[in-house]
Structure 1
Amino acid sequence: MRMITGIDHVQVAMPGGQEAAVRDFYAGLLGMSEVAKPPALAARGGCWFSSGAAVLHVGVEEPFAPAKKAHPAFLVEDLDDLERTLLGAGHECVRADDEIPGVRRFHTFDPFGNRIEFQQA
């Protein structure tokens, strides 16, 4: 019997009161669409985003500590273009092309230091 049939969303944490910065990064730079949170959850702060089948919840956590190892990995259509966009906005991009055969990838960090990976097969 198969129990798990997919992933609904991935969540990363953010410090409270930083919704403008999270929107600038995930919606502005990465082009994700913000999804309205249900009212009961909206009162907690944070933001939800989606793009294609990828759904990301960014929730407030106090005290906040960024995820340096754990991370979402997003599939993208044009890895090089995204890398140029992130570098142009002052974000570090760390390449790791040859570690997984047939997969081009890099990671960066969101405004709060959470590791985010991008892949193009």
Structure 2
Amino acid sequence: MRKTGKLDYIEMPAGGGSIDRVKAFYANAFSWSFTDYGPGYSAFNEGLDGGFDGNPDGNDKPLPVLFSEDLEATLKTVEDAGGKIVRPIFSFPGGRRFHFTDPAGNELAVWSET
């Protein structure tokens, strides 16, 4: 099974301080449970892992997150294929990642555990 490039996670916005309302909706509608990572982020594991980002500087659209076994090599491959890096590699709780846009303007992220 291919690992690099696998859709692995999705972040969805919960802007305007509505993260508690969003969590309550999904808990009540679908019985989802959550793991909070501070006041502005809450993760879920409901088939496809993901999280709600309620941080003021977070994305305003869903963010598909792909996995990579070699983050630097994948960044180069994305650039060589015509992707535009919009957020260089950075660390976050759980690993490192970068963000890019594809030729249609969709923003995605790629993450690695190391």
Q: Tell me which interval the TM-score lies in, with the shorter structure as reference length.
A: 0.3 to 0.5
Which structure shows the bigger proportion of residues in strand conformation?
Answer: 2
User: TM-score, length-normalised on structure 1?
Assistant: 0.41
User: TM-score, length-normalised on structure 2?
Assistant: 0.43
